[in-house]
Amino acid sequence: MNKTFTKFIVSSFIFVLAFSFCVAPAMAQPELGLNYATNLGLSSQNGDVRDTAVDIVKYLMTFLGIIATVVILLGGFKWMTAGGNEDKVAEAKKLLMAGMVGLIIILAAFAIVTFVVQITNNAISGQF
């Protein structure tokens, strides 16, 4: 991988961490059973920590899906501009495979998280 792409991935990861720790909790305002700020109008929208956790996972999965899609598009672009050079075509195939494997892992992780949260909610509420 070239240095520019590596810098892009690292800076994107740092942005996601900054967003998840700074902006996302401020948007979610989770209700933890403590109504200290109700008089100030800062009460929770969701009311449940599980909903907030699922929302954060959805945001992260969406961002990772966008990165995987960009990797696939980059691989396709490299293949189109290879001009018959076998080394560039091999590099493009590697990017395409990495993007596809990334998308499959992201979709599988999202399915697992959704399944676990649904089963947990059903078990807590008594609906089996």
Is the residue at 118 inside a domain? yes
Rounded CA-CA distance 25/23 in Å is: 6
- For position 81, what pLDDT does the model report? 92
Distance CA 75, CA 1 (A): 12
Residue 9 forms part of a structural domain: no
The separation between CA 40 and the C-alpha centre of its own chain, rounded to angstroms, equals: 33
Answer whether residue 123 is part of any domain.
Answer: yes
Q: Among 44-48, 58-62, 64-68, whose mean pLDDT is lowest?
A: 44-48
| Burial (0-12, 13-18, 19+ Cβ within 10 Å), 35 | exposed
Structural domain range at position 120: 48-128
Residue 60 belongs to a domain:
yes
Q: What is the mean pLDDT of the chain?
A: 75
CA distance 125 to 123: 6
CA distance 78 to 66: 18
- Residue 90 has what pLDDT? 93
Q: What is the pLDDT of residues 91-124, one digit of tens each?
A: 999 999 999 999 999 989 888 888 888 888 788 7
- Answer yes or no: is 36 within a domain: no
User: Does residue 1 lie in a domain region?
Assistant: no
Structural domain contains residue 20 = no
- pTM score, two decimals? 0.56
Q: Is residue 113 part of a domain?
A: yes
- Number of structural domains (the chain) is 1
Cβ burial, residue 70 (10 Å; 0-12/13-18/19+): middle
* Residues 119, 46, 112: CA angle, nearest 5 degrees: 30
